[in-house]
Structure 1
Amino acid sequence: MIQTAAVYVLAALAEIGGCFAFWGWLRMDKPVWWLVPGCLSLVIFAWLLTLVDTSQAGRAYAAYGGIYITAALVWLWQVEGVRPDRWDMLGAMLCLLGAGVILLAPHKA
């Protein structure tokens, strides 16, 4: 379980970093070369999700969603300087709870 959590956290950082590179290029007038590390980061993100110990890709992606949302709020705070409010935190907690149910439930197949 700890390995899965680590993979999800690394995947979230890779996805957010890759998406932010595109955001920077399109919305913040950063140079086009920002897309190179952005694309590489998104490839790493996709590869990392294949390391999750489940036989169904959809469940891996669904459970990852809660981690991604939480990581995005950490990014908002640490990189963009905007502190998440109580509604952000409540929403993230609900998403993490849902991710836990999806990942840990005794599925039939």
Structure 2
Amino acid sequence: MIDTISSLGLFFFAALLEITGGYLIWRWLKNHQGKILGLVGGLILFSYGIIMTFQPENFGKVYAAYGGFFVISSLFWGYWIDKKKPDKFEIIGSVVVLIGVAVIFYFPR
């Protein structure tokens, strides 16, 4: 159980890093804000790549499962940062994705 909790924590931490880094680069390029945002965003994205190596499985399985965490985390980011409430289809789709993540990564083999 501890391994599952650690793994979930790593997935959510990685999602926070990836979304934050991507958001800073987005603001730099799309909103023409300071280059320092792009640099910091790139460093955060680099950190995300390192965090993912702490997962106990192989690359393909980790990144396939991570996609689901990214979807959920992106919707939370949109809600809290961009003030965009997810609609019912985004919520339903997120639940479907999380079920897929559970099957891919956490079901016993």
TM-score range, shorter chain: over 0.9
Which 4+ residue blocks in structure 1 deviate beyond 4 angstroms?
none
Return the letter of the residue paired with 2:98: L
**Equivalent residues, number:** 106
Cα deviation, residue 60, structure 1: 0.4
1: CA distance, partners of 2:9 / 2:60: 19
- Displacement, 1:105? 3.1
Query: In 1, Cα distance between the equivalents of 2:26 and 2:46?
Result: 17
Is 2:88 the partner of 1:99?
A: no
Please state whether the residue corresponding to 1:63 is helix, strand or coil.
Answer: helix
Q: Deviations over 1:64-84 (max 9, x none)?
A: 111000000000000000101
1:51-106: CA deviations, max 9, x gaps? 1111x110000011110000000000000001011111011111111011000234
Other structure's SS at 2:84 match: coil
Shift of 1:22: 1.1
Letter of the 1:59 counterpart:
K
Aligned partner of 1:79: which letter? Answer: I
Residue aligning to 2:38: 35
Partner of 2:20: 17
For 1:45 and 1:5, the matched residues in 2 are separated by 14
TM score, norm. by length of structure 1: 0.93
Does 2:48 match 1:61?
Answer: no
Structure 2: tracts of 5 or more residues without a match: none
**Unmatched 5+ residue regions in structure 1?**
none
Distance 1:105 1:63 in 2: 12
User: So what's the TM-score if we normalise by structure 2?
Assistant: 0.93
Given the alignment, which residue of 2, 5, 9 partners 1:6?
9
